[in-house]
Chains A and B, each alone.
Chain A
């Protein structure tokens, strides 16, 4: 949720590449951090890395570009993030690969090992999480494994830097595995017929031929770039011919042979001694997704969040920073400082009503920063504990009604951190329909940390009923829109198959680093937009445009939503960032200019309001300009419609909040 920037630089050609490949959630990003000294988000759930991150590093005194990749279960891609990884092998000049394996899940790791052996790039294996495996009574004979597959396997505990020296040493001389998987004769025949048709590539022709036999459609573009139409047809015919002699799909037949081979390997190197003890973590793991106990647990988590972010962050910390630090010291000092500057316009620009210091910096540092800071800490703990995927188990049935499955809860919850990054994470979903629905719901109703903190702060000042009304309306609207979207948007949903990581005790150091990295990202991305928003308000005010905009918006804001005209400003800057808009409302509320109903109506409207600029650009990047415009075009009037109806209902029934 913070790694904007680092992956965007093109690394120069000519420097050898080192790629980290492996199943999801095996610690690739931790190894990446060790090698490069660069932090990328590390969490305890599959799919944390959805984009390639690369950085230059000196490994064994030699310069490399190290590439971190999204986790895969097979090199035959089944989703967008898996395709990204396979394409690196296909398109980049990889000198060596580090395969990360979760030792206790060696069987599934070996499935990838066999495919890496096939593609013919030298690699070493990090048998990671070796300590966790041992605590479960599992031991793996690393030497024997190395001998059998003809490459080097090193037991590691990357988070504690154990075994990393040996891993680096092994990287000095990475070997091409000599291990060959045996397939059915008919498959081998097919491979033998396809390989002569293939061009030279970065990975072995045999591995390409197997991917093609398996009917890997994601290779389509590559094929058309490298081969003649006729040859492609020829290959397709061979595939169909081979397929006709099997009743199961070829991809399955091939996978099956690989699994059989890895099972034979497993027998030699893997042993389970004694019974696995059921510790407190596995106990927690079970009842956090229990059909009865899972619900109170979820409520307890939400309550904890509310207390920490809403009451402590948005209450105590904001009070301290805004009232004591900014109003007490910084702003008066700034005003005094500008007293020495006789130019009126400069004074107003910095410390006036729409001043960069008195408005933009105050909002960013005094109001939003403590809220996002506490949110990032709480969220980091949740991420590293492994709770989030279990949440998916709890909500799968609800999400099914919206044409999604439980897996979509991951981007949705990430959206509570930052909708922009969450929109990118939608890649872990398999179908375009699902990605669009999630993108829409994120843009529509999931408040990002900053915005939610502000919202919780405002609601905390009214009543619990108000909080419920807000929550009920927003969740209800999302369910309704999700349901309708699933009917309107063409395409299909996908199967719910989600791996649940073990519950782990979060490491304070990782949470600390992660929180700092995210705060740094927030300051870098949000503050400039806050300043820009303030500038726009300042200029509009000076030119009289603000008064004009307020006049135009008056029927809508005052008449329909029943809010004071001043709230228009909040919506205008809400176009830049919703949290900035919400902060504007908070300031109004604190000044006593909004009654309870106005507060609820205004925050429901701003919660549902258009996605912020950054999110909008991310939607364009991921789903295209058309989808982005459709989504925004729908949300803008819709948010006001819901706000207006809510205003009408609350007033008509004279609901006491």
Chain B
């Protein structure tokens, strides 16, 4: 939980050295935090737990496992029991079958509609969380990510999940390459074809974007960009990507390293 906590205790308007325009951002990250804050309390109560809630957690974990097994083309109950780390998995599964989440026939294990919908949401939250850590916070893909994503999947509210998904530009896969189940916001996305915030380098040459925030590796870079007029709120046009990136800000034409361009996040205009 620790890295998440650092994030939450920071002041409003600061996410690991990023700076952004509040107006645009208000509907994204701050709401993320507020709801996550709520979620954390929920997470805490997880530990002071009674049996009922414990099993809720177990159910989620098992649904998740069944989903990934199915992705790999496996539906064997014995196989699932072999790989799971949950205690009393067999009992829990039986209760899940009674509750109408799963259907067990012989060794074949499959989702009932309610269970499938719930599993889809959990998987979606988990993989989006992984994306969030790697894309926005530049964390390495390792066990820590896995661990934190596991925590996140239980606490993200539906609204926050949509915000995260939109913020990340509706990513199709998780960092490990597995598909992220589509959500409602993604359907909207299909109509609009435009994520809210994208790294500047993902614009097509000739497109314009309003800078939402800049997440530079070092401070001098931020200072220097600001003297050139590159600050949140400015409108930039991506002129070309190769052999070097060239931007236009008003009447100024600038050539920049791709590395810097990737740190500038814009909203298409």
Whether A111 and B255, one on each chain, are in contact in the complex, defined by CB atoms closer than 8 angstroms, is: no
Partner of A248, one of B19, B250, B251: B19
Chain B: interface residue total (CB-CB under 8 A): 34
Q: Of all chain B residues, which has the CB nearest A501?
A: B253
Does B103 reach chain A (CB closer than 8 Å)? Answer: no
Is chain B's binding surface mostly helix, strand, loop or mixed? Answer: mixed
Whether A393 and B231, one on each chain, are in contact in the complex, defined by CB atoms closer than 8 angstroms, is: no
Partner of B255, one of A78, A286, A393: A393
Whether A252 and B10, one on each chain, are in contact in the complex, defined by CB atoms closer than 8 angstroms, is: no
* Highest count of chain B CB atoms <10 Å: which of A133, A136, A251, A497: A497
Whether A255 and B223, one on each chain, are in contact in the complex, defined by CB atoms closer than 8 angstroms, is: yes
- Asked if A74 meets B255 with Cβ closer than 8 Å, knowing A247-B10, A496-B244, the reply is no
Whole-angstrom distance between the Cβ of B104 and the nearest chain A Cβ: 52
Whether B257 and A249, one on each chain, are in contact in the complex, defined by CB atoms closer than 8 angstroms, is: no
Whether A105 and B251, one on each chain, are in contact in the complex, defined by CB atoms closer than 8 angstroms, is: yes
Whether B252 and A108, one on each chain, are in contact in the complex, defined by CB atoms closer than 8 angstroms, is: yes
Give the chain B neighbours of A136 by CB distance below 8 A.
Answer: 251
- Asked if A256 meets B226 with Cβ closer than 8 Å, knowing A393-B255, A396-B243, the reply is yes
Which of A1-9, A287-295, A469-477 is found at the contact surface with chain B? Answer: A287-295
A240 to B218, CA, bound (A): 17
A501 to B14, CA, bound (A): 36
A247 to B10, CA, bound (A): 9
* Highest count of chain B CB atoms <10 Å: which of A76, A214, A247, A389: A247
Give the chain A neighbours of B222 by CB distance below 8 A.
Answer: 248-249, 252
Does A104 reach chain B (CB closer than 8 Å)? Answer: yes
Whether A406 and B19, one on each chain, are in contact in the complex, defined by CB atoms closer than 8 angstroms, is: no
Does B8 reach chain A (CB closer than 8 Å)? Answer: no
Whether B255 and A105, one on each chain, are in contact in the complex, defined by CB atoms closer than 8 angstroms, is: no
Give the chain B neighbours of A255 by CB distance below 8 A.
Answer: 223, 226-227, 231
Q: Of all chain B residues, which has the CB nearest A295?
A: B243
A290 to B246, CA, bound (A): 10
Whole-angstrom distance between the Cβ of A276 and the nearest chain B Cβ: 9
Whether B10 and A289, one on each chain, are in contact in the complex, defined by CB atoms closer than 8 angstroms, is: no
Contact with B along A376-394 (1 / 0, CB 8 A): 0000000000000100111
Q: Of all chain B residues, which has the CB nearest A407?
A: B255
Whether B251 and A396, one on each chain, are in contact in the complex, defined by CB atoms closer than 8 angstroms, is: no
- Asked if A252 meets B226 with Cβ closer than 8 Å, knowing A247-B14, A496-B256, the reply is yes
Does A500 reach chain B (CB closer than 8 Å)? Answer: yes
Does B148 reach chain A (CB closer than 8 Å)? Answer: no
Does A138 reach chain B (CB closer than 8 Å)? Answer: yes
Whether B229 and A251, one on each chain, are in contact in the complex, defined by CB atoms closer than 8 angstroms, is: no
Interface positions of A from 397 to 453, Cβ below 8 Å from B? 397, 405-406
Does B240 reach chain A (CB closer than 8 Å)? Answer: yes
- Asked if A495 meets B221 with Cβ closer than 8 Å, knowing A247-B17, A291-B243, A294-B243, the reply is yes
Whole-angstrom distance between the Cβ of B241 and the nearest chain A Cβ: 8
Whole-angstrom distance between the Cβ of B119 and the nearest chain A Cβ: 38
Partner of B246, one of A78, A259, A289: A289
Whether A497 and B223, one on each chain, are in contact in the complex, defined by CB atoms closer than 8 angstroms, is: no
Does A88 reach chain B (CB closer than 8 Å)? Answer: no
Does A552 reach chain B (CB closer than 8 Å)? Answer: no
6 A-B residue pairings within 8 Å (CB atoms) = A74-B227, A247-B13, A252-B219, A289-B240, A396-B255, A499-B228
